[in-house]
Amino acid sequence: MDDAALRALCHLHAGLPRKGPGSERLTRALLADLAPELPPRPRAADLGCGSGHAAILLADGLGAQVTAVDACAPFIDELGARLAAAPPARGTVAARVADMLAPGLAPASLDLVWSEGAAYAVGVERALAAWRLLLAPAGVLVFSECCWLAPDPPAECAAFWADAYPAMTPPAGVLSAAERVGYRLRRAERLPPADWWTSYYDPLAARCEALAGEAATDPPLRAAIVEARREMDVFRRFARWYGYVLFVLDR
């Protein structure tokens, strides 16, 4: 992705509560399961954090000391504004602009690494290997990845993802990659399709409408909006064949 396209994508997502599909209900349930096994104030990182929705949940839900990392500076600015307006009730969040593969954290310094919808951008196995180095021996990784969930998707759906994410695999492929770099599966759960809409696509559709006038004279932004609308349409019609899966892995 060139710089103009990346800027357009960041601008399209500016102000959205999430930068990709997620589920507050599922996140809270996973944190409740993990809490008894983590230290009282776990050291955590949210890598590819967007505007920090999950980072704030980690701080509030676990009392965690969270480092929130994203390469898109405007997203980190949004998180900074959110923290200034409403700091977490428990824990802390420190936000920084950095590469999620090299977030500036010491090896074996984290009890929990969290990453939603970001690993695909650099390659799942590459991301998992880099993040494993950050985990303490008893550390846990939670990440979400878009996966094929049924065989033989319709041609239009298959063609869209062949272009958008040709490396997408069924969950078994993700688990094989995780095992190759030294993880063991604890739990995997599909993100409910309805949560794609409430957490991400409905706000994104409204944002596309709000930027339509600006996009008329901004070709990269116009292209980003066209692609976003196409993605939403594909999901509306073909969600039974694919979706996000949240994986919980032990180091």
Question: Is 235 a residue whose pLDDT tops 80?
Answer: yes
The whole-chain average pLDDT of the chain stands at 95
The fraction of the chain above a pLDDT of 90, given in percent, is 95
pLDDT tens per residue across span 80-131: 999 999 999 999 999 999 999 999 999 999 999 999 999 999 999 999 999 9
Looking at CATH, the fold of the domain delimited by 3-250 is given as: Rossmann fold (3.40.50)
Domain regions of the chain by residue span: 3-250
Q: For the whole model, what pTM was predicted?
A: 0.94
- What integer pLDDT is reported at residue 132 of this predicted model? 98
| Dist CA 197 CA 176 (whole Å) | 30
Question: Is 6 a residue whose pLDDT tops 90?
Answer: no
Please write down the long-range contacts of 180-184, taking CB distance under 8 Å and 24 or more positions apart: 180/125, 181/125, 181/128, 181/129, 181/132, 182/132, 182/251, 183/128, 183/132, 183/141, 183/249, 183/250, 183/251, 184/249, 184/250
Distances from the Cα of 49 to the Cα of 143, 149, 161, 172, 219, angstroms: 11, 25, 23, 25, 27
Q: Half-sphere exposure (CA, 13 Å, Cβ side) for 215?
A: 19
Helix (H, G, I), strand (E, B) or coil at 131: helix
- What integer pLDDT is reported at residue 17 of this predicted model? 87
Question: Is 2 a residue whose pLDDT tops 80?
Answer: no
pLDDT tens per residue across span 40-93: 999 999 999 999 999 999 999 999 999 999 998 999 999 999 999 999 999 999
Question: Is 1 a residue whose pLDDT tops 80?
Answer: no
- Tell me, rounded to whole angstroms, the distance of Cα 133 from its chain centroid: 19
Measured N-to-C along each axis, helices 24-34 and 53-62 cross at an angle, to the nearest 10 degrees, of 40
Residues contacting residue 144 through CB under 8 Å, at least 6 positions apart = 21, 22, 115, 116, 117, 191, 244, 245, 246, 247
Q: Tell me the average pLDDT across 125-150.
A: 97
Helix (H, G, I), strand (E, B) or coil at 192: coil
Q: Tell me the average pLDDT across 232-246.
A: 97
